[in-house]
Chain A
Amino acid sequence: MRILLLARVRLGAVAVLSLLTLSACLLVAGLPRVLQGAYDDALHRALQEAPAQQADLSVRTESRGALADLHEPGQFATQDARLRSLVPPRLRPLVSATGQMSAKTYDVPVNESNGLTYINLAWLSDGDRRVEWIDGRAPGKPGVLPWNGSEITLFEVGIVDEARATMGLKIGDVRILGESDQIAAKVVGVFRAKDPGARYWSHDVDVLHVTQVQPPGQLEMERRTTALIPASGLAVLNSAHRNLVYNWILPVDPAAPASLDVPELRAAVEDYRRLIPVQMAGNGSQYRLETDLPGLLDRFGTALGTAQTVMFLVLGGLLAVALGVLVLAVQLLTERIDHPLALARARGGSLRQVAGAGAALVAIAVAPAALAGWALAFLVPGPVPWVAHAGPALVPLTAVGYAAARLSVTHRAPLHERRDDVAAARPSARRITLEVLVVGLALAGAYLLRTRGLTTGGQDPFLLLVPVALTVAAALITIRCYPLPLKLLVRLAARGRLAVPFLGLTRAARARSASALPVLILLPALAVSVFGAVISGGLSATQRLASWQSVGAPIKLTSPVELPPDAIERVRKVPGVRLLVPAQTASAQIGYGGERAQIIAVDLGQWRRLLDGAPISLPAIASGTSGIPVLVSHELRGRGTFEIGWYERMKVTTAGEIAALPGFYPRGKFIVLPFETNERPGVNTLLIRGDADPAALLAATGQPTAQVTTQERALAAIEDDPLTGTVQDVLLITTAALAVYALIAVVVTLVIGAADRARALSFLRTLGLSDRQARGLTVLEILPLILITSLAGLALGLGLPAALGPAIDLSSYTGDLAVGDYSADPVLPVVLAGGLAAVAVLGAYAHTAISRRRNLGAVLRVGDLT
């Protein structure tokens, strides 16, 4: 058959097929990589942002008895090596080589401090590296101290500078520790952390900071600090009379794990947890693993699951549309080579020879392109999920398979000059039954999904099947029903005086079965784009809402101390401040008991003006009630008029109830008072509208401890998430790709029907049809299909989020605010559908404009094959 020669002759169609394959393979191989990269980034960030104490693997053991005590760093190192050798292979790449070890006492009170002061002793394996001595010297070897007639161990210790300030310790102090079998600690140095922000401090917060708590029923605070002892101190640190724990920290590198391995990692951590007590048993000590890594991975997995579901739907839609367009292009090529194949079949070619030759030609067009697309995708950074290989393999297989199947059917009988000039086929009862069944199943599936919700964890195959079924059902209904309104239009047009609308609509209504394919392509293309736009729109709107709810104003300035009136005036004069609302926040006593509530005194009317245009709103305080009208939270409802103690005792009257106060109290007990409740307001919060520079605002207050939060920054913080950003980017790329595919689908459909249409148009032009009318005729012929498919696609895309709403939980991307209202902004989807339809119609127009240059006679002669 000289297939290469045939490919050269049909270079145009082959090139179209190659380009489509290349782009489809690049998309289906590249986008999953981008996504997988984003998933990994998100995992790394989630681990990075979690305290090291949660993410790292820490093995603890409480020493019980002299046998289990460790007296020198070498023993720690031996145990460390043993622990590391037990780490499951899957976890090993995650664990950093440099870990930390420590020995710490806990709950060691200072003698005769009434249990209000505790000084614990700690040895940190890398203490020298982590601290610097700012006063005194590093502690040295322990000694002895005569006390109460006997000699007790005297440890030289270093304390953190915070302990010097809050616990009144100073260099040279000696404290007797313990209520019995005492030891002594002598402060010889004061240290501070070289890098207080380093992750490893997360495990030793007690060393770095003094813990202060107020024990119930006591006025004085209980203070605890942990003092550092040198390695030489270990020799005399024993568990006989002290609570002593040993820790080995195996730091987890937040950048090491890949999101693909999350389930295995989780299982490996649990294995390790089970392994340690068994393998490390001995000397009566119980070793145990303490880590929240599985929890972190689980939380990440939930967020990932949602992103994967949405992306799977969108990418699946893209793949389906790409395959549809590819099939259309294969159809174009097979129609182009119809003559050679039909001739070969008539001259004695077997079905296998003929279909094989056609499939080989398609393979020549798609195989190198698929390989190139797959290879090009390696330029896209990111790990390679299996989809990135399966997708590009599926694309050429579909093309070649479809070509072989189509050619086998077409050339099964050698003569395929069917008399298809006679009436259109009527649908069989069997087919209608099948279609009704598909539609019914899709609707039932959507209903069940809504009532059931999502299964927990992993991908839900049902969730992925229902949209597919709904799309197929919508396509079937569209294909089946779209000639009906057209026939009505044809009747109307037949009465009119103009020939073009009548002819165009008649041709459109005489739809051949070939027109099903464009519907099957355009409909999911639109549905997926609209679905993506709606999801992405709902996401952005909810993120914006979350940012407003967290800040409560465009700019919020808070100060721990009162802002004097002149400072407020200075802030008011900062360039860019358009409106400033002062507020007072405090904690107030309710009644005379110990019950307290957060209170805020603010002018709600002014605040509402400040929020003009924002997605949050504030209730008004009903005026006219006696006493001070206030709004209370749900927890304080039903109290009517009650008394609170703030600056002075005052009676307040419940004038309304609110669930949450944006920017201040999302829940709990709180009261909103009118601003002028206090005669001399102690303003400590400023709500500002305008585009003032936060630094300038802070400078104007003259308060170094004041803080500024802005809604924009809060929004940026919510949006600055690798998953959200990538999801939005992928949605954008997908929408653009789908629009291009829709355009190609329309043009290829037109090109496939070109010969037939050219014959009809040429015939009509001999009867006096002008060029302009011919263009109008083509556009009218394709327009009803595009319009109706666009409407169906738009409806499906808008309906899908509603149908799947309960099953897609995007709250992990919006600061835990549920994405509720997907139909917030119908403008974008409508513009999208309209744009796609317009692009498709333009394609039709352009195609006619180009093909009109053909010679009338040539078309009529070539067309006349019978």
Chain B
Amino acid sequence: MSPTLSELEARAAEGKAAFGGDAHIVCDNLVRIFKTEGVEVVALQGLDLLIQKGELVAVVGASGSGKSTLLNVLSGLDVPTAGVARVAGTDLLAMTAKDRLRYRRDIVGFVWQQTARNLLPYLTARENVELPMKLAGRPGTGKARRGRAADLLDLMGVGSRADRKVPEMSGGEQQRVAIAVALANSPQLVLADEPTGELDSETSEEVFGALRKANGELGVTVVIVTHDPLVSERVDRTIGIRDGRTSSETLRREGVAEEYAVLDRVGRLQLPRDFMNALDMERRVRLELESDHIGVWPAREEPSDGQ
């Protein structure tokens, strides 16, 4: 008996779900195109990404490589054009406006690069932390909210600044309050877009420490987009993005960093540009399968077609 259409659909869906398995963040062939009349900008061109629950991951890449777009997609602020994006089992492409709001309230928290943008300048640190809880309309007394806000600020090491307004705090303190704000509704995931971008190295250390504390003590998955080697070299996994695709991954085990290229589901591989330049590889390469590896050689000099 041949399968019915619905059975075929179910089977196809099963096949897709297999990618990434039970990973906390799954991006498969993610595409995001900004379209203004006449002009298209492809910010993500088929990005693949898997992040497990409780990981602390850094995303690095050149300016315009699509890092911030990825983060906006993951934070539920932006909707991808095509592909698969799933966070904590939630399909980011198939969400209604209501789901999206719940997702932003319950599942994700985020921190932007500009310290001024994360906080409302006319509120105190504590009020800023309470704001997301109030917006979410969580049941509980004002006292409970104040207690949680104080706990979070203490955890971030800025408990003493609770009643200060934003302009009365240093940049590092502001960013740590911003992390407390991001953690206010106990999210499963915190996304940080260059959280140390505007800070000096000492303050960056404090802010990164705060993120690591959130990851370690609260078990929150943390994804940090950064240019800062201080951050990218101190996480377990660093994902490199180039031209809207994940290109490389660096894993650190016991202080030793190993860089890997990313192999996608259909076997595409992006070679690092300096490797290609060093061997003058362009247009095509020669592959040879050995028993435990694949060799990649530059194409042999051949007489051109015309002669």
Q: Interface residues, chain A, CB within 8 Å of chain B?
A: 1-2, 5-6, 8-9, 339-340, 343-344, 346-351, 353, 414-415, 418-420, 422-423, 425-426, 865
Partner of A415, one of B38, B72, B185: B72
Please give me the 6 A-B residue pairs with the lowest Cβ-Cβ distance, nearest first: A348-B105, A415-B77, A422-B36, A9-B122, A349-B135, A347-B132
Which residues of chain A are near B105, meaning CB under 8 Å?
A: 348
Contact present for B36 and A414 (CB under 8 Å): no
What are 6 inter-chain pairs, A to B, with CB distance below 8 A? Answer: A8-B122, A339-B117, A347-B132, A348-B135, A422-B41, A865-B117
Which residues of chain B are near A865, meaning CB under 8 Å?
A: 114, 117
Contact present for B181 and A347 (CB under 8 Å): yes
Whole-angstrom CA separation of A589 from B122 in the bound complex: 97
Partner of B78, one of A2, A343, A415, A426: A415
- A-B CB pair tally, cutoff 8 Å: 66
Interface assignment of B67: CB less than 8 Å from any CB of chain A: no
Which residues of chain A are near B101, meaning CB under 8 Å?
A: 348, 350
| B225 → chain A closest CB, angstroms | 14
Contact present for A353 and B76 (CB under 8 Å): no
Contact present for B135 and A426 (CB under 8 Å): no
Which residues of chain A are near B126, meaning CB under 8 Å?
A: none
Interface assignment of B230: CB less than 8 Å from any CB of chain A: no
Whole-angstrom CA separation of A346 from B108 in the bound complex: 10
Question: Chain B, 116-160, contact with A by CB distance < 8 Å: what is the 0/1 string?
Answer: 011111110001000110011000000000000000000000000
Whole-angstrom CA separation of A418 from B120 in the bound complex: 22
Partner of A422, one of B39, B72, B131: B39
Whole-angstrom CA separation of A346 from B74 in the bound complex: 12
Contact present for A344 and B114 (CB under 8 Å): no
| A457 → chain B closest CB, angstroms | 53
Contact present for A425 and B37 (CB under 8 Å): yes
Whole-angstrom CA separation of A346 from B136 in the bound complex: 12
Interface assignment of B237: CB less than 8 Å from any CB of chain A: no
**With contact pairs A344-B135, A347-B132 given, residues A5 and B104 touching in the complex (Cβ less than 8 Å):** no
Which residues of chain B are near A340, meaning CB under 8 Å?
A: 120
Interface assignment of B34: CB less than 8 Å from any CB of chain A: yes
Contact present for A353 and B123 (CB under 8 Å): no
Which residues of chain A are near B181, meaning CB under 8 Å?
A: 347
Whole-angstrom CA separation of A420 from B39 in the bound complex: 11
Which residues of chain B are near A353, meaning CB under 8 Å?
A: 135
**With contact pairs A348-B101, A419-B41 given, residues A414 and B76 touching in the complex (Cβ less than 8 Å):** yes
Q: Which single residue of chain A is at the shortest CB-CB distance from B79?
A: A413
| B100 → chain A closest CB, angstroms | 8
Which residues of chain A are near B104, meaning CB under 8 Å?
A: 346-348, 414
Q: Which single residue of chain B is at the shortest CB-CB distance from A866?
A: B68
Which residues of chain B are near A414, meaning CB under 8 Å?
A: 76-77, 100, 104
Q: Which single residue of chain A is at the shortest CB-CB distance from B134?
A: A1
Contact present for A5 and B122 (CB under 8 Å): yes
Which residues of chain A are near B123, meaning CB under 8 Å?
A: 2, 5
Whole-angstrom CA separation of A344 from B104 in the bound complex: 11
| B13 → chain A closest CB, angstroms | 28
Q: Which single residue of chain B is at the shortest CB-CB distance from A864?
A: B114
Whole-angstrom CA separation of A340 from B135 in the bound complex: 13
Partner of B127, one of A2, A8, A418: A2
Which residues of chain B are near A347, meaning CB under 8 Å?
A: 104, 131-132, 135, 181
Q: Which single residue of chain B is at the shortest CB-CB distance from A420?
A: B36
With A1-B131, A339-B120 given, can you name 5 additional A-B contacts, CB distance below 8 Å? A9-B121, A343-B119, A344-B135, A423-B37, A426-B38
Which residues of chain B are near A420, meaning CB under 8 Å?
A: 36
Whole-angstrom CA separation of A425 from B36 in the bound complex: 8
Whole-angstrom CA separation of A6 from B114 in the bound complex: 21
Question: Chain B, 100-116, contact with A by CB distance < 8 Å: what is the 0/1 string?
Answer: 11001100001000100
Which residues of chain A are near B76, meaning CB under 8 Å?
A: 414
| B81 → chain A closest CB, angstroms | 14
- Residue in B36, B97, B121 whose Cβ sees the most chain A Cβ within 10 Å: B36
Whole-angstrom CA separation of A348 from B99 in the bound complex: 11
Partner of B185, one of A1, A348, A419: A348
Whole-angstrom CA separation of A273 from B132 in the bound complex: 75
Which residues of chain A are near B41, meaning CB under 8 Å?
A: 419, 422
- Residue in A348, A414, A418, A865 whose Cβ sees the most chain B Cβ within 10 Å: A348
| A302 → chain B closest CB, angstroms | 56
Q: Which single residue of chain B is at the shortest CB-CB distance from A354?
A: B135
Question: Chain B, 30-60, contact with A by CB distance < 8 Å: what is the 0/1 string?
Answer: 0000101111010000000000000000000
| B127 → chain A closest CB, angstroms | 7
**With contact pairs A414-B76, A419-B41 given, residues A343 and B135 touching in the complex (Cβ less than 8 Å):** no
Whole-angstrom CA separation of A541 from B136 in the bound complex: 69
Whole-angstrom CA separation of A418 from B100 in the bound complex: 19
Q: Which single residue of chain A is at the shortest CB-CB distance from B127?
A: A2
**With contact pairs A348-B104, A414-B77 given, residues A343 and B38 touching in the complex (Cβ less than 8 Å):** no
Which residues of chain B are near A348, meaning CB under 8 Å?
A: 101, 104-105, 132, 135-136, 185
Whole-angstrom CA separation of A1 from B131 in the bound complex: 7
| A605 → chain B closest CB, angstroms | 76
